[in-house]
Structure 1
Amino acid sequence: YAGWLSWFSHSVACSLYAVLFGTFFVELLEMGDLHPGHDILFWGLTATQVWVKIFAVLAALLFVMINVRGSSETGLIGNIVTIFKVIVLGLLVIFGLRAMMNMSNWADNFWRDPSPLPNGIGGIILAMGLTFVAFEGYEIIAQSGEEVKDPGRNVPRAIFLAIAIVVVIYLAVAFVSIGALQQDSGLPNWVYMGENGERAMIETARSIMPYGALMMVLGGLASTISALNATIYSSSRVSFAMGRDRDLPAVFGRIHPRNKTPHWAVWLSGLLIMFMAVAFPIEDVASGASITFLLLFLMVNIALIRLRTTRPDLVRPFRAPFVPWLQIISIGLQLVLAVELFELSPTAWVTTGVWLLLGLLVYSRYGGIQEATKIEDTILLEETVAMRDYSVLLPVANEVMARQLANFGALFALANRGELFALNVIRVPAQLGVTDGRAFLRRSRPLLDEVVAVGREFNVPVRTMLRLGRDISDSILSAAQEREANLMILGWPGQTRHRDQAFGTIIDLMAQNPPCDLAVVRFRRSSAPMQKILVPVAGGPNTRMALELAVTQADALEQVTGQRPTVVALNLALGESPTAEQMDRQRQQLIDQFELAELPIEIEVTHAQDVVEGILAAAVNC
């Protein structure tokens, strides 16, 4: 039921951001002398109000389509937009403080009304309730806990830091808005701003700094754009999870076959958002958003108290203090704020009440299905653990590569009396939660079965893992660290997409700081028995390890086939033709530096004009 309310809360908040976007966009048009006018068109709406709603719908529709398609760049764009709007607000504060320093009577703006509470305590409570939606968003940090490293430490810190930063910005903007605003209406600044509604900050910025109105409009557009994208993402994510768990019709849980996004959840959430933006005035939308979030966070406090008493055994890296008294106080205050908003917008309360009743009907129809179907769910995330000290990690992406890597890796596992660790990583799009990616896991089972089959052939135990993550390389590295892999073998297709990449994006990223020994393999088609293992060496830090891996491979091949290939360490003498004495000296330096005399290998020093040509010439008979 909390999910039902959460979906509505984010949708209403998103409709508020859409309407604000329309307001700022119309203001931008008016700056360019494109005035929609104030004539009444229909339903008591002026031309300006109609165009605000049209642009609100278009903005919501645009971001619905973006979320349906799925884009990894939206996160970067969101960060850029956030930085821009913080810069705009920072400039407003700086110019506001500068203007106040040049005003001898700026303090009078705070004392125009001698009463500390001009509208009584009820006015303060009403303002608190109406602006509650301005603090919405930090709960997304908790929703993304499964994607955060060390969530027990970082999630609480991020939440408190986010709230603290926002409070400081809000207070600074409010301070300079009241203190620096110059207007001739005869009203106190706070009254003047209240009467201007959503245009108040535009008028304030126009008064405080050069091009202030334009900067504030652009900042408002940027702010609402980033908020639109984030809340459409959040609302569709909630409805998708409910559809997947059968708390909503199954259509909400469907995933687009190509884009891998919950397209139906996004479209249906978008329709709800656009309806709210068109059907209600901005005051009712803002009140509705605050009411629903107040009720939602009220449920969170109730759930915390309930979980503390019913599940005291749960591991809690962060423990909320003063339970249950702090939560009881919070519940009481949230109820007071929500009830007080009825005075401002009865329509918002009626709409919220209708939604809550509709939620009861939906839950009575779908809510019990999830419990009945849980037993039928297939366990898709599996791990077979073999207690061996040596582990060879094989990240596999397709069945052909899985068998090739398994045949190669089994040699090292066999020689070290270890295990194969077969890993397949499913990259989950940003539009889905990490755990929501389990819908893709069933298709990965055949990849791991290939490795298991090879393990049986070599009599080597196999551990398997299906892993979900945003970034494939990070997921592979995490698996290697968590399972303490000794050797990681990566398959390379033989080409890269960019000149500045040695092997490819994933391999290059993991090679920067691997948690274990790393080998990159390029397979070729050959049915002939292996006669020679050629190891080009130049005296670098990996020389000894590369030769030891080659010797291990030769030992295992001898154990399996009865024939041992020759391991040859190839060192190239570049430049002018060296004498035989110089080449012998170079060979002996290599032996002494890396203590190669104890290894069953041949060391070959060959003259070559080019490194690549020299290696290819020596590899002819491999």
Structure 2
Amino acid sequence: MMMGMGMMIGAGVFVATGISIGFAGPGGVLVAFALNGLVALFSAMSFAELASALPTAGGAYTYIDEAFKGLIGFISGWLNWFALTVAGSLYAITFATYTVFLLEGTKWFSSLGVESGLVIKALALLIIAVFVVINYIGVSETGNIENLITIGQMSTLLFIGAFAVFYTILHPERLSHFSNFVPNGWGKVLAAMGFTYVGFEGYEVIAHAGEEAFDPKESIPKAILYSVVAVTTTYLLFAFAAIVGADVSPENLTAWFAFHGAVGMGEAIKDLMPYGGLLITLAAIFSSTSALNATIYSSTRVLFAISRDGKLPRFISKIHPVRRVPHIALALSSIIIVTVALALPIEDVAASADIVFLLIFLLVNAAVIKIRRERGDELDYGFLMPYFPFIPLIAIALQGVLSIWIFDVSPTAWFVTLGWVILGLALSSRYKGAREAKEALRREVVFGEWLPEGYKVLVAISNPRNAPYLARVGETIARARKGELALVSVVTVPEQTPLEEAHRFAGPALELLRRVREGLGGDVNVRGVLYYAHSVYRGILSAIKNKKADLLVLGWRGRSRLGYIFGSNLDRLVEAPCDVLLVKPGRGEEVKRILFPTAGGPHSLLAAEIARIFALEKGASVTVLYVDREGIERKRIERRLEPVMRILNGARGTLKVVRSDDPKRTILSECRDHDLVIMGASESSLFARSLFGELPVEVAKECEKTVFLVKKDLGRRSWLRRWFL
């Protein structure tokens, strides 16, 4: 949902809204936004249905090619690539336009005497270059940052809308701005719908996550539909704020917005509220940069897919051997983005993006009808739209009308689009390679067979230094539970690179899996599996889901990265839907004395079971350490820890109570006389630090011995993590 909303709120609401009020009037824009939201919702249902049945990374191009193949499939991909690149140009110009809008209010900028149009083009070129470099480097782990930007921009727009409602209650005379509701006729409303439609596309990128979403048949359709509803509501409030905020007479309102053009929205919000100009400028800058990054990424993947399918020269689909990104596809996408941004006025750029997206969505609505008619019985749908086929048919008719009506706003945009289609037809006659039916490679079994029943231990290995030890830990637990062991390694590629290409880089992971397997005892069934994903976190979650793992064993170096407790992947994986054992290897592997600090609780029972397993396996003793900070009577402590001691019965477990106001120092002092330290998590909660507790994490960081941190799956997942992570 964050992906969709972040992509949708990119430029349409900031640039196209003010321009549209200038020719459609105040009421015309509100009607256009409401109807566009309805049209977008109809198309979103088609995307949701197709994404639930065909959870692949190709998005619109894959769906259209799946339905029509041949020339139509190629043209759809060709148009989709152009649409994304033109949208990228629009977002770059939006960033530059509002940056100049902010700078124009400063004496420093005025003293330069530089023409604003020239500065806008230069800034657009600069920001495109920045994000091209980011995509080339393959920067990862930006999902949380993108989420924060999206939440920030949505909150800003909703705040401005809410402020406008409150302001109108105090100043009801501002409602007179709607007196001339549709000054130029209802035909201009249709033109406004087509011109602002770019603000209602973007939710389709959610479908690109179909291969990696944890439960795509449920989560992908929900995210698509919810994002459209949320953004449409936000747009209506924001447009209302601009209309009532403009400090101008009702009869001059439309002309005022026409005069200010692309920055009309900014000028209106500046009049509405204190610091409104700064607020809207920052929102526009952050929104446009977030969307620019997403469009560069998406356009690169679409062009890569077309080339890989043999419909464009094969060299375009080459992967950089070091960066693991389709660098040639990225370069070609970047050239188009720069060319359009520098060559066309912002109105023509926006109109070109609108036309092509309308045509793409029209074809998707046609594809959903064809695919359900021909393959509905064989596909496993997670979502089926109601009133089929009337909803996609209505969407097709409306999108066709809107795309034609944009000619009234920008004839240049139609000429550019037709020229692009003609170029695509010329290329298609030369490259007629049949589409290769490729299933995205998500996992590869390296060795072993998976038994249908029994306790399943999954060990995630990546670091050659600790992988053998983690595997032996997992083997010990699997042996004691009469279960089996799965060794899982995740091969990752950047978001810009399709998963099908990940197998090219699987050599080191394959070698590590085989080497680790050779070092095991051989008395436990072992299976080695490679997963291909855009992040370690997603790959391991897929493994947990596919193998129905009971216990996940993870390695930790004992260091934290900036902003994380354990690390970007581990912070999420410790809340996986299974039991989790986090291992920080220490000095030596000989285990004669085990330290088990605990205060009781559900996680301590699993920790006690693991302590018992290793005590019996190694012939070691277990010291159950209770740090008493309150002067509790020993009998009460014994009653509290009775379930733990019962589990340790027969494993030479003894209880040691130490009175101390500094539990951390006390535990670390005891660690010196033990070989292995096992600690359970605190009560399950949202964040990793509070999940394991401050004390276990800090002890694990400073202890030089091997430390096990244990979390039992209590079958609870916070609604925030369910919906947003």
TM-score by length of 2: 0.70
Give the equivalent residue in structure 2 for 1:418.
Answer: 483
1:453-494: CA deviation from partner (whole Å, max 9, x where unpaired): 346x5243222222244553564355335423344444455x
> Which of 127, 133, 156 in structure 1 is aligned with 2:192?
127
Give the equivalent residue in structure 1 for 2:272.
Answer: 208
- Pairs within 5 Å for 1:444-459: 444-454=509-519, 458-459=522-523
1:121-170: CA deviation from partner (whole Å, max 9, x where unpaired): 43222221111112121212222233434333333332232222222232
Residue 219 of structure 1: SS of its match in structure 2? helix
- Pairs within 5 Å for 1:134-149: 134-149=199-214
Give the equivalent residue in structure 2 for 1:43.
Answer: none
- How far did residue 422 of structure 1 move? 0.9
Higher relative contact order (CA 8 A, sep 6+): 2
Change over 3 Å in CA distance of 1:103–1:440 after alignment to 2: same
Contact 1:533 1:550 in 2 (8 A): no
- Tell me how far apart the structure 2 counterparts of residues 336 and 588 of structure 1 sit (CA, whole Å): 76
Which range moved further: 292-301 or 7-16? 7-16
> Which of 92, 100, 105 in structure 2 is aligned with 1:26?
100
Residue 548 of structure 2: SS of its match in structure 1? coil
Contact 1:489 1:519 in 2 (8 A): yes
Give the equivalent residue in structure 2 for 1:182.
Answer: 247
- Pairs within 5 Å for 1:236-251: 236-251=300-315
- How far did residue 273 of structure 1 move? 0.5
Give the equivalent residue in structure 1 for 2:650.
Answer: 599
- How far did residue 554 of structure 1 move? 7.6
- How far did residue 215 of structure 1 move? 3.6
- How far did residue 57 of structure 1 move? 1.5
Give the equivalent residue in structure 2 for 1:16.
Answer: 90
- Tell me how far apart the structure 2 counterparts of residues 303 and 262 of structure 1 sit (CA, whole Å): 28
- Tell me how far apart the structure 2 counterparts of residues 223 and 510 of structure 1 sit (CA, whole Å): 30
- Tell me the matched-pair count: 588
1:531-564: CA deviation from partner (whole Å, max 9, x where unpaired): x6422245655777667556656877xxxxxxxx
Residue 491 of structure 2: SS of its match in structure 1? strand
Change over 3 Å in CA distance of 1:37–1:505 after alignment to 2: closer
Q: Which has the larger radius of gyration?
A: 1
Residue 485 of structure 1: SS of its match in structure 2? coil
Which range moved further: 203-212 or 352-361? 203-212
- How far did residue 434 of structure 1 move? 5.3
- Tell me how far apart the structure 2 counterparts of residues 271 and 547 of structure 1 sit (CA, whole Å): 61
- Tell me how far apart the structure 1 counterparts of residues 657 and 578 of structure 2 sit (CA, whole Å): 34
Change over 3 Å in CA distance of 1:507–1:189 after alignment to 2: closer
> Which of 359, 366, 369 in structure 2 is aligned with 1:305?
369
Give the equivalent residue in structure 2 for 1:286.
Answer: 350
> Which of 276, 283, 294 in structure 2 is aligned with 1:219?
283
- Tell me how far apart the structure 2 counterparts of residues 549 and 61 of structure 1 sit (CA, whole Å): 53
1:93-146: CA deviation from partner (whole Å, max 9, x where unpaired): 45544554565654443234xxx7543443222221111112121212222233
Give the equivalent residue in structure 1 for 2:621.
Answer: 568
**Cα RMSD, aligned residues only:** 4.2
Give the equivalent residue in structure 1 for 2:70.
Answer: none
- Tell me how far apart the structure 2 counterparts of residues 155 and 104 of structure 1 sit (CA, whole Å): 42
The amino acid across from 1:382 in the alignment is V
The amino acid across from 1:328 in the alignment is L
Change over 3 Å in CA distance of 1:479–1:338 after alignment to 2: same
Are 1:4 and 2:72 an aligned pair? Answer: no
Contact 1:100 1:180 in 2 (8 A): no
> Which of 454, 464, 467 in structure 2 is aligned with 1:389?
454
1:211-249: CA deviation from partner (whole Å, max 9, x where unpaired): 444443333333322222222222223223334444444
Are 1:330 and 2:395 an aligned pair? Answer: yes
> Which of 496, 507, 519 in structure 1 is aligned with 2:559?
496
Which range moved further: 302-311 or 465-474? 465-474
Give the equivalent residue in structure 2 for 1:172.
Answer: 237
- Tell me how far apart the structure 2 counterparts of residues 209 and 587 of structure 1 sit (CA, whole Å): 64
Structure 1 regions of 5+ residues with no counterpart? 40-46, 557-564, 576-581
Give the equivalent residue in structure 2 for 1:560.
Answer: none
- Tell me how far apart the structure 2 counterparts of residues 87 and 589 of structure 1 sit (CA, whole Å): 47
Give the equivalent residue in structure 2 for 1:71.
Answer: 139
Give the equivalent residue in structure 1 for 2:415.
Answer: 350
TM-score by length of 1: 0.80
Contact 2:605 2:643 in 1 (8 A): no
- How far did residue 179 of structure 1 move? 3.9
- How far did residue 299 of structure 1 move? 0.9
- Tell me how far apart the structure 2 counterparts of residues 546 and 30 of structure 1 sit (CA, whole Å): 63
1:301-335: CA deviation from partner (whole Å, max 9, x where unpaired): 11101110121121111102222222222112211
Give the equivalent residue in structure 2 for 1:42.
Answer: none
- How far did residue 31 of structure 1 move? 1.6
- Tell me how far apart the structure 1 counterparts of residues 480 and 286 of structure 2 sit (CA, whole Å): 60
- Pairs within 5 Å for 1:460-479: 460-473=524-537, 475-476=539-540, 479=543
- Pairs within 5 Å for 1:357-368: 357-366=422-431, 368=433
- How far did residue 86 of structure 1 move? 4.0
The amino acid across from 1:305 in the alignment is I
- How far did residue 355 of structure 1 move? 1.5
The amino acid across from 2:299 in the alignment is S
Contact 2:456 2:483 in 1 (8 A): yes
- How far did residue 606 of structure 1 move? 11
Residue 321 of structure 1: SS of its match in structure 2? coil
Give the equivalent residue in structure 1 for 2:583.
Answer: 520
The amino acid across from 2:265 in the alignment is M
- How far did residue 85 of structure 1 move? 3.9
Give the equivalent residue in structure 2 for 1:579.
Answer: none
- How far did residue 260 of structure 1 move? 4.0
Q: Percent identity?
A: 34
The amino acid across from 1:536 in the alignment is L
> Which of 512, 532, 536 in structure 1 is aligned with 2:595?
536
> Which of 315, 318, 341 in structure 2 is aligned with 1:277?
341
Contact 1:391 1:420 in 2 (8 A): yes
1:353-391: CA deviation from partner (whole Å, max 9, x where unpaired): 22122223444444525528x59x999623742345132
- How far did residue 277 of structure 1 move? 1.0
- Tell me how far apart the structure 1 counterparts of residues 394 and 102 of structure 2 sit (CA, whole Å): 44
Structure 2 regions of 5+ residues with no counterpart? 1-73, 660-664, 677-705, 707-725
Contact 1:591 1:597 in 2 (8 A): no
Are 1:320 and 2:371 an aligned pair? Answer: no
